[in-house]
Amino acid sequence: MKMQWGRRGENLYIYLSGELDEHSVAEIRARADKLIDENAGLSRAVFNLAGLRFMDSTGIGFLIGRYKRLKRYGMGMYLESPESGADKILSLSGLYSLMPKIQE
């Protein structure tokens, strides 16, 4: 699992690639939380999922946890370019009602 990030204006972009599952989530959670804390006050965070090959229920928990953390800072959360498998899971789970999907 890899995570890269960047800032553009008032937006924090977090790029996830690989597999988001119980084996990788602890390290990614810690890195994402630190990044969110360091960039508190921006308008929104965009999680780009284009490189995510696999995501299970642990990945959904990861996203919900980051949503709650961002909400405490008054930041919105958006999901960008999910692969078809992740898109199906996110649609079925109803997460798009909390974290809208946007395209690149």
Fold of 2-102: Transcription Regulator spoIIAA (3.30.750)
Buried b (16+ CB within 10 A) or exposed e, 4-39: ebeeeeebbbbbbeeebeeebbeebbeebeebbeeb
Mean pLDDT computed over 40-52: 96
- Region 56-74 average pLDDT: 96
Average pLDDT of span 20-49: 96
Cβ neighbors of 68 (< 8 A, separation 6 or more) are: none
Q: Where are the domains of the chain?
A: 2-102
Stated pTM of the model: 0.94
Whether residue 49 is predicted with pLDDT greater than 80 in this model: the reply is: yes
- Reported as a pLDDT band with limits 50, 70 and 90, residue 103 is confident
**Is the pLDDT reported for residue 104 higher than 70?**
no
Question: Nearest CA to 8 among 37, 44, 40, 35?
Answer: 44
Mean pLDDT of the chain: 95
